Structure formats: structure tokens, C-alpha cells
Structure 1
């Protein structure tokens, strides 16, 4: 069995804007990015495609399958009151505690990275119970993939942002002899 973790393609939003669960459109060249992703996943197989329901993931999920499944646990971090605000417009007294401990501290009316990691962990525990002969493609967000890889590789959540992940990144995991292994080499920055 193979699992492909796929980060959505480039969203259509200005740099410097905080977004997590905001439902954004994709950049105008998204079809080129879709083709790049398609080339990284073998096309001679059938897949179960499971996706975040947010548009920047669901469009890719429908490109990969006529009948994708959607799971809210695959949504990006919820930034609460900060959603769609410019980072430089967020009050320092709100932002600084989060910057110092983003794992445990949540934005106002949002969620912490630990809460995201908990729902992601529950999703992957449920995924283990699925009985299928098909390989699986999961279309989701950087925070979700980092949280999963953090647990999978035994990396502290604080360190998971060292995992370099461009838009449209694909990570392949393969189960052999009952053990799931990461096939894609990780690029750990700084």
C-alpha cells in the first residue's frame, strides 16, 4: 500500500496575509501545478482520494478523482480572529504569546498547533482501519502534513516547521512487510 500526502497548490492571496481555514481560490496557473503533481503519482493505479474540503484542496482532489472523500480533520490550522488579516496588523500583545509558543497557544477564537495535531492524529488512526486494495492520496495543507510527519518521524512539533514544503509538494509513504516508511527524502531547513 502507498499513501501520497499532497499539499494544495498556490492560493490566490497576497503575501503577508494570515490564512488557515479561510476558503481561498487558487492562483491562475493552478492547472500547471496540478500537472506537476500528477506526474509525481503513478497513473496506472486506482486511488482512494481523501481531501480537506477547503477549495484549494478540493479542486485538486476532483482533478485526481471523480469521487473524492472529504474530511474536516484535514483542514489547515484555524487562525480564528486573525483569518485574512495582514500579519503586521495583528496586535503584538496577541501575536507575541502565540509566536513564542505556537504549539500550545491558540489565536483568539482559533486553535493551537497541538489541537490541529490531535485531530490529524485521529484522522490517521481512523485511516489505519480502512480496508482497501487501493492506494491513498491525501490532499491537504502544510500544517496537517507537518503535524503528521512530526508524529510519524518522532520530531517535536516545534521542529516540524523545518520540513521544507512548497505548494504542490508530494510525500510518498509505502507499506512493506507491515511497516509504513517514508519514501520521499525530507528537506529539513535550518
Structure 2
């Protein structure tokens, strides 16, 4: 299976914030810009007008714009970004340094209170990828997701283990970028 997954547009007013599943606003022009990119890509490669989106509005709203242009979109909760629990939506400076150090030293299994670990994100991503690979054997899959999820999927596709240390995490993918992942 081939997965083409775009990262959502940059959210508004999130500099310095820990953002996972916090539902933040995105400039409407940037949402339309991503929808335009996806629409051109689909036309150029003659792909089906079906796209999977995360339930978070920075992804979902692009799907809704595409639906106005003849696309079908499907919401997949599994595509949501990692859940940072009580950290989510806080300024990084407000989070205790010791807690961040513990996370960096046990990157795979640490989870903030009421959040999820990187291992849990990997499990969620892998379950969705396996399910979609069975359903979409010969058809490329289009999706709009989040940097952490996309990195997890890239690592799963290349049989890399969940990193135990933060230093081994992949560099974040760019906003609006298309990432091809072969499963």
C-alpha cells in the first residue's frame, strides 16, 4: 500500500505551546492552500477523490473544504496527534523540567498524566495502517495528519523500533508537506 499523507497547515498562535490533541485554529487561507495542493496532486496522479482526516480541526477542515470540491473524506480518530495529556495546550516553560527530562530519557514509554506514550502512538498508527492496507490493497491512500503520527508511520514502514531516547526521534515534517509512505 502507498500512503500519501500531508501534514496540516501551521496552527495560529501556538508558538511555545505543547500541542498534541489540543484543537487549535488555522488560518482559512492556509487550509484552502493545502486543499488546493491535494486537489492538484490527485488530478495530476489520477487518484481517487477519497481522503482520510484526523478529527482535529487543523486536518478535518481541509477534508471539509475538499468535500465541497467533490471529494469524500473519512474521519479516523487513529490519525490524531499524540495526546500529551495534562501538558497539552500548556507553554513548554510551564512544564516541569524534571518531567521533560524523564520523557526524553524514557521517550518510548513515558506518558504525561492522562496522556499517551510514544509506544501507544506507534501502536495506534500501526493498527490503522494494517487495517487500511487490507482494505486498500491496490489503491493509494490519501490522508491529512500530524507530524508525530507521520514520523511514527515512517518508522513503522521501515521496521524501526520506537526510539527510547528523544535524540533518536525523526526531524519534524514540514507543514503542508506530502509524505509518501510505502507499507
Please identify, of 51-60 and 131-140, the stretch whose mean Cα deviation from structure 2 is larger.
131-140
Work out the CA distance in 1 between the residues paired with 2:51 and 2:34: 18
SS at match of 1:108: coil
Equivalent residues of 2:49, 2:72 under 8 A apart? no
Residues 53 and 84 from structure 1, CA distance in 2 versus in 1: closer, same or farther, beyond 3 angstroms?
same
For residues 103-162 of structure 1, what are the alpha-carbon distances to aligned partners after superposition, in whole Å with 9 as ceiling and x for unaligned? 210011101011000011000111122157653211111111111110111233327633
Please identify, of 32-41 and 85-94, the stretch whose mean Cα deviation from structure 2 is larger.
32-41
Per the alignment, residue 169 of structure 2 pairs with 161
Residues 6 and 52 from structure 1, CA distance in 2 versus in 1: closer, same or farther, beyond 3 angstroms?
same
Work out the CA distance in 2 between the residues paired with 1:79 and 1:131: 31
**Residue 32 (1) aligns with residue 33 (2):** yes
Work out the CA distance in 2 between the residues paired with 1:61 and 1:77: 20
SS at match of 1:129: helix
Work out the CA distance in 1 between the residues paired with 2:115 and 2:95: 14
Correspondent of 2:50 among 48, 51, 67: 48
Equivalent residues of 2:80, 2:146 under 8 A apart? yes
Equivalent residues of 1:17, 1:87 under 8 A apart? yes
Report the structure, 1 or 2, having the larger helix content. Answer: 2
Work out the CA distance in 2 between the residues paired with 1:128 and 1:69: 15
For residues 43-76 of structure 1, what are the alpha-carbon distances to aligned partners after superposition, in whole Å with 9 as ceiling and x for unaligned? 5332331111110001112233443111111110
TM-score relative to the length of structure 1 = 0.81
Per the alignment, residue 143 of structure 1 pairs with 148
Q: Where do 1:105-124 residues align within 5 Å?
A: 105-124=110-129
Equivalent residues of 2:34, 2:62 under 8 A apart? no
* Deviation for aligned residue 1:18: 0.6
TM-score relative to the length of structure 2 = 0.83
* Deviation for aligned residue 1:88: 0.7
SS at match of 2:58: helix
CA-atom RMSD in angstroms: 2.3
